[in-house]
Amino acid sequence: GRGRGRGGGFFGASQAQLDNPHGSDLNKYLKPGAPKPEFRKSRAAEPTVEQIQGDTLTSLAKAYWAPGTRQTHQPFSSDVVDQIYNNDIKGSSFSIKRVMMLEFSQYLENFLWPNFTSTTASLSHLMSIVVIVNEKFRERVPAWTAFQLKPEQFTAFFHSALTWAVAEPGEICIGEQTKLVIFLDHCFCSMEVDLVRTQVQRLVSLPMWSCLLDARREAELKAIPKWKKYWKLLQKKDAKETPENLKKLQFERTFLSAMIQKFLTVLYTVQEKECPADIVDFVERFLILIIDLEALLPTRRFFNTVLDDSHLVVKASLAPLAMRPEGRLFSQLLEQVRFYTRFEINDQTGEPLSDKDMMSVHYARMSKLQRAVFVKYPELRSLALATIASIEDRDQLVKHFLSLTRDALYDICEYLHLVPVRNEEEGCKDEYTQQFLAELVISRHEKRDSQLTELNSMPLYPTEEFIWDENLVPGEYYQGENPLALPKLNLQFLTLHDYLLRNFKLFQLESTYEIRQDIEDVVGRLKPWRAEDGSVIFQGWARMAQPLQTFTIVEVAKPNIGEKQPSRVRADVIVHLGGGKDNIRQEWENLRRHDVCFLLTLRPPMAGTDRGFLDIPADEYCQTTGLMYVRGCEVEGMLDENGRVIEEFGSEPKPKFSSGNRTFRVLLDCNQYREDMDMTSQGGEDVYSSFNLILRRKPKENNFKAVLETIRDLMNTQCVVPDWLHDIILGYGDPASAHYTNMPNAIPELNFNDTFLDFGHLRASFPGYEVRVEGEAASLPSGQLLPPFRIGFEDIKARNLKRDQPGDDSAQIPRVLTVELVKVENRGPYPKNVPKKNTVRFTPTQVEAIRSGTNPGLTMVVGPPGTGKTDVAVQIISNLYHNFPEQRTLIVTHSNQALNQLFEKIMALDVDERHLLRLGHGEEALETEKDFSRYGRVNYVLAKRIELLDEVTRLQKSLGVVGDVAYTCETARYFYLYQILSRWEEYSAKLEQDQHKTKDMIADLFPFHVFFANAPSPLFHGSTYDEYYECAQSCWRYIQDVFTQLDEFWAFELLRSGLDRTRYLCVKEAKIIAMTCTHAALKRQELVQLGFKYDNILMEESAQILEIETFIPLLLQNPQDGTNRLKRWIMIGDHHQLPPVVKNMAFEKFSNMEQSLFTRLVRLNVPTIELDAQGRSRPSICSLYNWRYKALGNLPHVLNHTDYQTANAGFSFDYQLINVPDFNGVGESQPSPFFYQNLAEAEYVVAVYMYMRLIGYDASRISILTTYNGQKSLIRDVCNARCANNPLIGLPHKIATVDKYQGQQNDFILLSLVRTYNVGHLRDVRRLVVAMSRSRLGLYVFARVSLFKNCFELQPAFNILMKRPLQLHLCPNEVTPCKRIASVTAPNPVIVYDMPMMSKFVVDFYQNKVKELKVLQARHMVARPGEIKGQETGKGASRHPGEDRDSDDEAEGKNKYEEITNEVDNEEAAEVSGENKAAQALEKVFTQGEELAEDQDKAEVEDEPQMETEDSSAGPHSSAGPPAS
């Protein structure tokens, strides 16, 4: 999970103090059974809150700017800024801890920016702002808000930042310049912010070419006449400018060029002797800036030429730093710069260049070089006249050029416009050395492999070298402060190839990180050691790994033409599954086809490792544990005794095995096999004869190979994204171009089916439109206008016309709707033929979303919590299904749970279920009786076929036809043609001849009376001829429908195997196909080969899906004639809630991998429809998160329904923020790093939960949430100790982290925020929105108020929370359901001050309840023994208290209890003593009205539900008070 505190150590240790050598994910130690890590040096002591308050920064903040202080702030003083900057920012060498404190205290918002003026601001003022902005980016909180509120000084601020960035070394230290480079990089990456974009654009536009060599500039402009024209205009404009303006313009134009010169100067200060870290940091950061400029088309367009002209890549690659060990990351970054400078794209137009185009560019360069040589140097005649193929390799070029003199090389370069003309460069001979000039010529002209060729020869599985390389797969807790050589996902991409490549790399690295964790976990559990004879012995046991018996390669197939690697490598792996538990054996036997396993070679050192397996640094890992090789493989299947692959192990007759050995047939990676064999042939060890362990992974997390293969396939096909989407996905062009109003094929008339409940609903749904009713319905009163309606949109018609005949632009587009009534045809005389209808009264925005989704184009719906996203999705699907019966719709979601909700709602609408299909493994969880998986659908079709053939038999008998006509679909078809159709035609002809139109004739001549005898009588009803005729028609439609379906099912008779039938379903029969995005990525190849086709995609939860997993479903079909048939793409999501889960912090933060495609499109300003009425929470609770949305209102039922009108029983308020002070001096704690817990909050939350259960709330209505995994496990422990074994209380519905609970909801939420020193990852507003929006009726937040109330991002919510008392107010005399109205506060509540008081209160409250109940029930048993005995029989013991769901009728039991209380007499109570009887009776009071499980052990009933009486046992659930720790 994410619970590792992404805010970074605030006052905790920063990197240096935390000696934790084994990488970040400490959760892996916390798997059950694994030992806790021993830290060699514990964390630095956390400062106490008092110390922090005494800290100078805090006192300054209080005096000058902190929000929420009582006294007024002192006036601004620049000395304070200087003092803080020199002591705490620069003075602490930019310590993250200090900067975090300043940023958190709103130093920028309240002090630095409001008082910034360009004329008076000092360098320290400017640098303070820069450092805080960088800090905001590091913490991933919005950075530009303060500037947007007061934009007028921004231009001046930006300009002075630029001036300081190129200042001389003496005036500003290198560390500060690094900070400025980082700041510039952030500016270039924030192009969507208008304020920043206007500034940044000036630095990278055409005028920057003024710093090119004149000859080079002339040559470039000559190639592009359009730019030449602009250049001339520019020169004219410059002539008119004032000198100071011109100076400023000139500064902006040469700025980047000056920065590059500065970079080279700094880079060359590193010579052989020493290598200062701050210089390395500066050059690395600078290269990242260059990469980001090169990887965006708008910045790259002119800059690429300037970069090329500066020869940065050549000069940097020759620098001494590149040769030193400290320069490793520098070299990797430089490689990325080189990759982008040569990227396959046309800088001017942005069109991607194919291999052919790249070849012609290369040839043009080479022939130009040959011409240069030919003109200048006769002695190189052999080079000038050679064929290009013979001289284009690097080795050949080196041979020719390294031997030339410096002057000769210089002349050639001058001819190629690479260096200044001779007479100008007298002064700088040393800059153009012979080595440099030679390298310049060679690197420009060598032939390079295309990126695709490299990618295709790459193994897809990581090997041991790759897995433990910290530079590629950063493991340590990444705080965002050091640069990495990773690709980034920002807003825009150069080409689709670039887009896929960046995602490929990141996905590969992210999955490698998870594989590393799995391997380390397994090796740590197995505890391998070496015996005397050298054999490896596994001392431990691991569920996910088995020692190998044998491994043999069984097939190496010949390479395909033009390839070097074999086309297929297969091997057999034998493992022994005899001794283990049955369930483990089953798990191994259930390895499916395409599952990925890893083969490991372990050779632990003889001495064994005494260090344990847990804290080994990555670079020593393989050596210390003796892990020699890791290779991936893909399971093809398990072999049976005869050596045949078993297709599906779960299938019917199960194969028998005589021994415990199982053989798996696996496929190895061909590229990897070739590399390994090359090594072996050069004398290396044969890897494949050394494996001794096979490791499997959880199937859920193991889809990486399929996704990588899919991305690689996409890069190799001409993957055609539909034209209307192409630019939007890359982030260019008009973001609204795919909106339905701008699509040339927008549909002017739509049948809205059952979207509208009545005419009033239609009228209300289109505010601002004039509604006209057309046809004969125009005369009817609106009450008689019944749906379905067909609506014509005059504005769309007008737009489409305008597109075809562009005329007068000022013509007004009419906002008029024309409505026609659609006649509904009856589908038959039976009640089952009445179609199901939508019952939801959609709001106008929901209707707009439905309209947009039914039209072609891109529809993006932002659905805040509880706004009926699923209802909208289902209605869109239903409308498409009815309006375009020939089109097929693909539904993609993130989780199986969301798919299930969608399917359950689709079932409730008028969609024939033979057209529904669900692919993937989640279909087991569908809570409908019907099975929508492929095999389930096939079975449904076969059963339906038999049912329909029975109908045909009945029809046959009713007509008295002989013969076996209902034997197959085929015979039934002939029966229809010859017997049925002829009768109907004859009947119709007779009716046509009837001049008088007598309605009785319709009934008398009707040929199928006998068949419809079982329909509701009379079959013909109505008063007019037309109504009778419609009855006859509906019967005929029913018969036709039977035969149409049989026609469709005919294919299932012809296809015999289950596999063929499921494929036919998937490709032909189903109209609505659903799958998760993971399944789409896994099965793309298979689907494409089958010829899978679809026209529409609907994605639910799309803000939670990784960018690449959103993109793949667009391309699950092969393009037809070079175009993609996709017509609609509907994305429904909410980018204000949590993003996709990325396990590794470095990829999440540095590479921005957590950005979903949905979020990126929102950032690019693609038009969205934001649903604006929620129906989940009370309006009061909704106010805690609706500030995050544009205009989120409430649906009427949230205001009127009784649940929402009454208060929460037992509580004064419907939501409260409850301050939890330290308990025994302890607030948050970390039993292991980033595993945060807070005992006081855990106990408090559980006590409140117990209190709620005691006053009658159902456990199923209460969920306990928290923001950290550590706290979740602590609350679980406390609950198990206090509640689980107590039948009165039991466990709550769910105990979960906020992240895991996204997409779910409950009536009452108890939320623990855990942290007491710093806010941690709740600063991510998205997490706060999710946390606040999970509850319907009650939300109780337990937190350290003083910490959270100052957090700038969270203020809107916490300001509202803090208007209510911060101590819990209870009304213990109320029971559920409550009578009090929600707006009335309870009179004289009990005020709880802290956790110990609450615990004590609950114990006493519990004792009283139990006493009351015993007395009462005893009295009850004496009074009416007969009745109670009668009740006992049907009931049985209480359900298991640990079960997830309690029944919903507990409240009824409570009411009965209330009435009885009145009749208790004390005298008679003494007659019964046996406490067990009382306990049983007490159970009954609580379980009256519950439907209980019949058989359960009596023991649980007799166990007395008690908490802490004198004689209670010392079991774990008896200690109710706070623990003594």
Each residue's pLDDT tens digit, 4-37: 433 333 333 333 333 333 333 333 333 444 444 3
Give the distance, in angstroms, between the CA of residue 1459 and the centroid of all CA atoms in the same chain.
52
Model confidence at 1507, pLDDT cuts 50, 70, 90, reads very low
Please say whether the beta carbons of 1460 and 1428 come within 8 A: no
The pLDDT of residue 395 is above 90: no
The pLDDT of residue 1499 is above 70: no
> Amino acid identity, residue 613?
F
Helices 723-730 + 496-526 axis angle, to 10 = 60
Q: Which stretches of 717-771 are DSSP H helices?
A: 723-730, 759-765
User: Which pair of tokens denotes residue 561?
Assistant: 């033409």
* Residue the block writes with tokens 């009650």: 1338
Model confidence at 73, pLDDT cuts 50, 70, 90, reads confident
DSSP 541-565: --TTEEEEEEEEEEEEPPBPTT-SS
Under the phi-then-psi rule, with left for phi > 0, alpha for psi from -120 to 50, and beta for the rest, what region is 810? Answer: alpha
Whole-number pLDDT of residue 611: 55
Model confidence at 429, pLDDT cuts 50, 70, 90, reads low
pLDDT in tens, 883-899: 999 999 999 998 888 88
Model confidence at 629, pLDDT cuts 50, 70, 90, reads very high
Q: Could you tell me which of 1340, 1332, 1337, 1382 has the C-alpha nearest to residue 1357?
A: 1332
Whole-number pLDDT of residue 33: 44
DSSP 579: S
pLDDT in tens, 596-606: 999 999 988 87
Please say whether the beta carbons of 1268 and 1314 come within 8 A: yes
Whole-number pLDDT of residue 1061: 86
Under the phi-then-psi rule, with left for phi > 0, alpha for psi from -120 to 50, and beta for the rest, what region is 1133? Answer: beta
How far is Cα 190 from Cα 184, in angstroms, rounded to an integer?
A: 10
Whole-number pLDDT of residue 477: 66
Pairing relationship of beta strands 627-639 and 645-646 according to DSSP bridges: antiparallel
Looking at residues 1491-1518, what average pLDDT do you find?
39
The pLDDT of residue 1223 is above 50: yes
pLDDT in tens, 700-723: 777 888 889 889 988 888 777 898
SS3 665: strand
Whole-number pLDDT of residue 993: 86
Whole-number pLDDT of residue 314: 92
| 1442 Cβ contact partners less than 8 Å away, ≥ 6 residues apart | 1284, 1290, 1291
The pLDDT of residue 1346 is above 50: yes
Whole-number pLDDT of residue 104: 84
Please say whether the beta carbons of 663 and 572 come within 8 A: yes
How far is Cα 285 from Cα 161, in angstroms, rounded to an integer?
A: 17
Q: Is 1220 exposed, middle or buried (0-12, 13-18, 19+ CB in 10 A)?
A: buried
pLDDT in tens, 199-257: 999 899 999 999 888 889 998 899 899 999 999 999 999 888 898 999 999 999 999 99
Under the phi-then-psi rule, with left for phi > 0, alpha for psi from -120 to 50, and beta for the rest, what region is 1192? Answer: beta
Q: What is the CA radius of gyration of the chain?
A: 37
pLDDT in tens, 1100-1139: 999 999 998 899 999 888 887 778 889 999 999 999 999 9
Please say whether the beta carbons of 362 and 392 come within 8 A: yes
DSSP 656: P
Model confidence at 630, pLDDT cuts 50, 70, 90, reads very high
Looking at residues 1177-1184, what average pLDDT do you find?
94
Whole-number pLDDT of residue 648: 63
816 beta partners = 770
Please say whether the beta carbons of 128 and 88 come within 8 A: no
Cis peptide before 1377 (omega within 30 of 0): yes
- Helix-strand-coil percent breakdown of the chain, rounded to 5? 50, 10, 40
Looking at residues 1436-1443, what average pLDDT do you find?
33
pLDDT in tens, 178-200: 999 999 999 999 888 889 999 99
DSSP 336-356: HHHHHHT-SB-TTT-PBP-HH
Whole-number pLDDT of residue 421: 84
Q: Kindly report the average pLDDT of the chain as a whole number.
A: 82
- Calculate ∠ Cα 673-677-679, nearest 5°: 120
How far is Cα 319 from Cα 329, in angstroms, rounded to an integer?
A: 14
How far is Cα 599 from Cα 1417, in angstroms, rounded to an integer?
A: 65
The pLDDT of residue 316 is above 60: yes
pLDDT in tens, 1299-1331: 999 888 999 999 999 999 888 888 889 999 999
DSSP 30: G
Please say whether the beta carbons of 549 and 529 come within 8 A: no
How far is Cα 376 from Cα 381, in angstroms, rounded to an integer?
A: 10
Of all residues in the chain, the percent with pLDDT exceeding 90 is 38
The pLDDT of residue 430 is above 90: no
Please say whether the beta carbons of 545 and 690 come within 8 A: no
How far is Cα 432 from Cα 1364, in angstroms, rounded to an integer?
A: 73
545 beta partners = 695
CA dihedral 1222, 1295, 37, 625 (to 10 degrees): -160
Whole-number pLDDT of residue 1456: 32
Of all residues in the chain, the percent with pLDDT exceeding 70 is 86
Whole-number pLDDT of residue 573: 94
